[in-house]
Chain A
Amino acid sequence: MQYTFIALVENKPGVLNRVASLFRRRNFNIESLAVGRTEKTDVSRMTMVVDCPNGDVDAHRIEANLYKLVNVIDVQDVSRLPAVTRDLALIKVKAGPEKRAEVNSLAAIFRARIVDVAADSVIVEVTGTEEKIEGMTELLRPIGIAEMVRTGQVAMTRGANSGIRRMPGMEDSHYEDDYEVAEMTP
């Protein structure tokens, strides 16, 4: 099951490495990770999509261990909440003059933009949810994709809602009841 976390971290060298190292150390696979500055110059924001095979148990462990990092200020799980999520992709399509019209009409349907045109290719910029980008990619594939790059997902909850904070001991913390005892290795 995929979970989306938002973490606010101090904008210092090495913080990304600390976060990435934590996922490696605890054997979690990061599906996507996007980092950027926020409105505060000393705070960066990370959006992480992580595969959690054990559901909420893993989500709790990830959140608690993120907090253990000295440079991490806040962690929220926005996986099941009303949130706006966006991913941006640049897709270079192998399209000479005869195929440009086809690419152009697909782009119009997905509200994507043609941002560069060369003799034998065009670059399409598409923004949206993961599903939208996947959909666009599938339709462009038969025409011929030369290159593709994605930023990874960023997320923001809607309205005044914040994400779930599971940390025990915190004011609004709550812990799901689907705990499964792990099998012990001798």
Chain B
Amino acid sequence: MKMTGAEILWECMVREGVEVVFGYPGGANMPIYDAMLNYPVHHVLVRHEQGAAHMADGYARASGKVGVAMATSGPGATNLVTGIATAMMDSSPVVFVTGQVAAHLIGGDAFQEVDVTGITLPITKHNYLVTRADEVAEVVREAFYIARSGRPGPVLIDFCKNAQVEQAEFVFPDEVKLPGYQPPERAPQSDLEEAVRLIEKAQRPVILAGHGVLMSGAEEALAHFAVKTQTPIASTLLGLGAFPASHELSLGMMGMHGEVHTNLAIQNSDLILAFGMRFDDRVTGNLKTYASKAKKIHVEIDPSEVHKNVRVDVPLVGDLKNVLTDLIQMVDEYDHDEWLQQINEWKVDADSRSIMNWPNDDNLYVAHLVTDIWKATGGGAIVTTDVGQHQMWAAQYYPLEKPNRWITSGGAGTMGFGLPSAIGAWFAHKDQEIWAIAGDGGFQMTAAELTTAVQEGANVKVAIMNNNFLGMVRQWQEFFFEKRYSAVNMLTPDFVKLAEAHGVPARLVTKREEVNEAIEWARRTPGPIVIEFRVVQEDSVYPMVPAGASLDQMLQRPERAVK
């Protein structure tokens, strides 16, 4: 059957399971928007294309499906760029469809022409320029396959306007032909045997659980492996939720703002089992002193991550779920009681400094507020964040029992991610409670999406932790630049009025005793809600491993140092 390129796009996307897309129309994608009306796909009109990218990303992370974001050519496409890079750094499966000027105009600096495939080349897993209608079906099929398979990631399709309107015979390809793209499935048997030999010998093993656990759907296999071998699990920022935080083998988050006992466990271990993580500099600290006594097994689907930052002893290249399923069969039951007891002793020592054990001094601390939200929601909400201090506090004080409820920009560290990703997550799980925890800086970067939330009736609760500072930069200036504050003191608008102007009910909370009632009010009020919390201005995130320091050189919270 003959169809236009735009119709083929939608026909293919519907067959790939697309139900919702986030986007913004313009001159170069009007035929796509016209054809969309004939397909059962819900379109979310954003206020800025960056919002569309983050929403599609949030949708993908919450649902496990491929998210879709669309924009027109030129500035529409360039506004996506931050969102594409965010998805790339965190291996999020998103397909981006951008309009492009007609093929015969390419290279001529036509109106709203930008070299989008050129710009996005290093920040996509793969990208396409489609110049003819008869290429569309194959390209869309490949794009979805590449986005979701192997190590997932963003794929961009730059779609020339002539190819949108021209007709071609529609044939949905049965399979993709990609001779250069074969994601590894299982690790070789000889490598598995070598890994088992190390596991058998280990006295002080630690599992490092990364985003790959969630991406691979390996949560159950991870729990099975950990319990069988009695190995404690430390999580990366993006690995949180892969293993229940309340489990006795859970060590919580590792790295720059990780728990003291977790980092000590890693530094003192004799075997590191890195599962679907990439030894980012934020989790290793100084590489020269990183877990120097430990042998290292690295299970990873992307071979370019193996030996990249840390030289490992046994790489197991394959899909984590498969590799773990194989390993579980091959290992015996062990106990590491002494080791677990040692870690527990470190933990008790750190607990005595915890801000949670401070008496109420009527100041609002983000750690307390996050804990209050955690208690009110029974720890079961989907939580999205921006980037900075509040993000680290949310990671530390919203312990997760279940996967795919923690949506944060890890690798890219993109401010403005919280609100739009929450809206995207709501489209994946409309029945679940969703909280966006934001700072006053990041919230202002994408605040315009409040209107999108209202237009869509998105049931997201936004908690703005307002300290009138760009808090994390301020903290670094305090610690490493002799408190010479440079461009971090921030005037904020009246967030309550701002929200109300968008049609969002809002409250300001300045006192401890108002907190719980405000949270409950937000929970029982349908639709988007904003609560601004005026928090302690110069609080700092602890523990902290200064950049470049060894992982066990942690700055700990001084006892009652905060004014």
Q: Are A169 and B187 also in contact (CB < 8 A) when A70-B146, A184-B286 are?
A: yes
Q: Is the CB of A70 within 8 A of B281?
A: no
Residue of A whose beta carbon sits closest to that of B284: A184
Q: Are A73 and B180 also in contact (CB < 8 A) when A21-B121, A168-B306, A182-B287 are?
A: yes
Q: Which residues of B contact A184 (CB under 8 A)?
A: 281, 285-288, 548
Those 3 A-B pairs whose CB atoms lie nearest each other, nearest first? A169-B317, A64-B304, A186-B548
- Interface set, chain A 22-69, CB cutoff 8 A to B: 25, 57, 60-61, 64-65, 67-69
Measured in the bound complex, the distance between the Cα atoms of B308 and A184 in whole Å is 13
Q: Which residues of B contact A21 (CB under 8 A)?
A: 121-122
Q: Which residues of B contact A72 (CB under 8 A)?
A: 180
Q: Is the CB of B304 within 8 A of A68?
A: yes
Q: Is the CB of B547 within 8 A of A14?
A: no
Is B302 an interface residue, CB under 8 A from the partner? yes
Is B318 an interface residue, CB under 8 A from the partner? yes
Return A6 CB to nearest CB of chain B, in Å: 14
Q: Is the CB of B304 within 8 A of A181?
A: no
Listed by A's residue number, 15 A-B pairs whose Cβ atoms lie within 8 Å are A10-B179, A14-B129, A21-B121, A57-B307, A61-B304, A64-B308, A67-B180, A68-B304, A70-B178, A167-B303, A168-B306, A168-B315, A169-B188, A169-B316, A184-B285
Binding site for A on B (CB under 8 A): 117-118, 121-122, 125-126, 129, 146, 178-181, 184, 187-188, 191, 281, 285-288, 302-304, 306-309, 311, 315-318, 546-548
Q: Which residues of A contact B180 (CB under 8 A)?
A: 9-10, 67, 69-73
Measured in the bound complex, the distance between the Cα atoms of B303 and A72 in whole Å is 14
Return B439 CB to nearest CB of chain A, in Å: 23
Measured in the bound complex, the distance between the Cα atoms of B423 and A26 in whole Å is 35
Indicate which residue in B129, B303, B547 contacts A67 across the interface (CB closer than 8 Å). Answer: B303
Q: Which residues of A contact B122 (CB under 8 A)?
A: 21, 25
Residue of B whose beta carbon sits closest to that of A15: B180
Q: Which residues of B contact A179 (CB under 8 A)?
A: 307, 311
Q: Are A169 and B184 also in contact (CB < 8 A) when A61-B304, A67-B304, A182-B287 are?
A: yes
Return A184 CB to nearest CB of chain B, in Å: 5
Interface SS of chain A: loop
Measured in the bound complex, the distance between the Cα atoms of B185 and A41 in whole Å is 30
Indicate which residue in A9, A17, A70, A170 contacts B126 across the interface (CB closer than 8 Å). Answer: A70
Residue of A whose beta carbon sits closest to that of B298: A168
A-B contact count (CB 8 A): 75
Measured in the bound complex, the distance between the Cα atoms of B187 and A181 in whole Å is 26
Q: Is the CB of A61 within 8 A of B308?
A: yes
Measured in the bound complex, the distance between the Cα atoms of B126 and A10 in whole Å is 14
Measured in the bound complex, the distance between the Cα atoms of B286 and A185 in whole Å is 9
Q: Is the CB of B317 within 8 A of A168?
A: yes
Q: Which residues of A contact B317 (CB under 8 A)?
A: 167-169
Measured in the bound complex, the distance between the Cα atoms of B312 and A60 in whole Å is 14
Measured in the bound complex, the distance between the Cα atoms of B546 and A64 in whole Å is 31
Q: Which residues of B contact A183 (CB under 8 A)?
A: 288
**Residue in A25, A184, A185 whose Cβ sees the most chain B Cβ within 10 Å:** A184
Measured in the bound complex, the distance between the Cα atoms of B181 and A67 in whole Å is 8
Number of interface residues of A (CB under 8 A): 33
Binding site for B on A (CB under 8 A): 9-10, 13-14, 17-18, 21, 25, 57, 60-61, 64-65, 67-73, 167-171, 175, 179, 181-186
Residue of B whose beta carbon sits closest to that of A73: B180
Measured in the bound complex, the distance between the Cα atoms of B287 and A49 in whole Å is 30
Return B289 CB to nearest CB of chain A, in Å: 9
Residue of B whose beta carbon sits closest to that of A13: B129
Measured in the bound complex, the distance between the Cα atoms of B287 and A181 in whole Å is 7
Measured in the bound complex, the distance between the Cα atoms of B281 and A138 in whole Å is 48
**Residue in B121, B122, B179, B287 whose Cβ sees the most chain A Cβ within 10 Å:** B179
Measured in the bound complex, the distance between the Cα atoms of B178 and A9 in whole Å is 11
Q: Which residues of B contact A186 (CB under 8 A)?
A: 546-548
Q: Which residues of A contact B546 (CB under 8 A)?
A: 186
Q: Is the CB of B288 within 8 A of A181?
A: yes
Q: Is the CB of A17 within 8 A of B304?
A: no
Indicate which residue in A18, A65, A182, A185 contacts B121 across the interface (CB closer than 8 Å). Answer: A18
Measured in the bound complex, the distance between the Cα atoms of B436 and A2 in whole Å is 51
Measured in the bound complex, the distance between the Cα atoms of B317 and A64 in whole Å is 12
Return A64 CB to nearest CB of chain B, in Å: 4
Q: Which residues of B contact A70 (CB under 8 A)?
A: 125-126, 146, 178, 180-181
Q: Which residues of B contact A169 (CB under 8 A)?
A: 184, 187-188, 191, 303, 306, 315-318
Return B201 CB to nearest CB of chain A, in Å: 20
Q: Which residues of A contact B188 (CB under 8 A)?
A: 169, 171
Q: Is the CB of A168 within 8 A of B303?
A: yes
Q: Which residues of A contact B307 (CB under 8 A)?
A: 57, 60, 168, 175, 179
Q: Is the CB of A73 within 8 A of B179?
A: yes
Measured in the bound complex, the distance between the Cα atoms of B304 and A65 in whole Å is 6
Measured in the bound complex, the distance between the Cα atoms of B318 and A183 in whole Å is 29
Return B203 CB to nearest CB of chain A, in Å: 25
Q: Which residues of B contact A61 (CB under 8 A)?
A: 304, 308
Return A165 CB to nearest CB of chain B, in Å: 11
Measured in the bound complex, the distance between the Cα atoms of B308 and A179 in whole Å is 10
Indicate which residue in B117, B302, B309, B316 contacts A14 across the interface (CB closer than 8 Å). Answer: B117
Measured in the bound complex, the distance between the Cα atoms of B304 and A175 in whole Å is 13
Residue of A whose beta carbon sits closest to that of B549: A186
Measured in the bound complex, the distance between the Cα atoms of B256 and A186 in whole Å is 12
Residue of A whose beta carbon sits closest to that of B128: A14
Measured in the bound complex, the distance between the Cα atoms of B316 and A14 in whole Å is 32
Measured in the bound complex, the distance between the Cα atoms of B180 and A57 in whole Å is 23
Known A70-B180, A184-B287; further 19 A-B contacts with Cβ < 8 A? A10-B179, A17-B121, A25-B122, A57-B307, A61-B304, A64-B306, A70-B178, A71-B180, A73-B179, A168-B306, A169-B184, A169-B318, A170-B303, A179-B307, A182-B287, A184-B285, A185-B548, A186-B547, A186-B548
Measured in the bound complex, the distance between the Cα atoms of B122 and A60 in whole Å is 19
Measured in the bound complex, the distance between the Cα atoms of B167 and A51 in whole Å is 48
Q: Which residues of B contact A14 (CB under 8 A)?
A: 117, 129
Q: Which residues of A contact B125 (CB under 8 A)?
A: 70
Q: Which residues of B contact A13 (CB under 8 A)?
A: 129
Measured in the bound complex, the distance between the Cα atoms of B127 and A18 in whole Å is 10
Return A167 CB to nearest CB of chain B, in Å: 5
Q: Which residues of B contact A73 (CB under 8 A)?
A: 179-180
Measured in the bound complex, the distance between the Cα atoms of B304 and A170 in whole Å is 12
Measured in the bound complex, the distance between the Cα atoms of B125 and A183 in whole Å is 28
Return B238 CB to nearest CB of chain A, in Å: 20
Q: Which residues of A contact B304 (CB under 8 A)?
A: 61, 64-65, 67-68
Residue of B whose beta carbon sits closest to that of A177: B311
Residue of A whose beta carbon sits closest to that of B312: A168
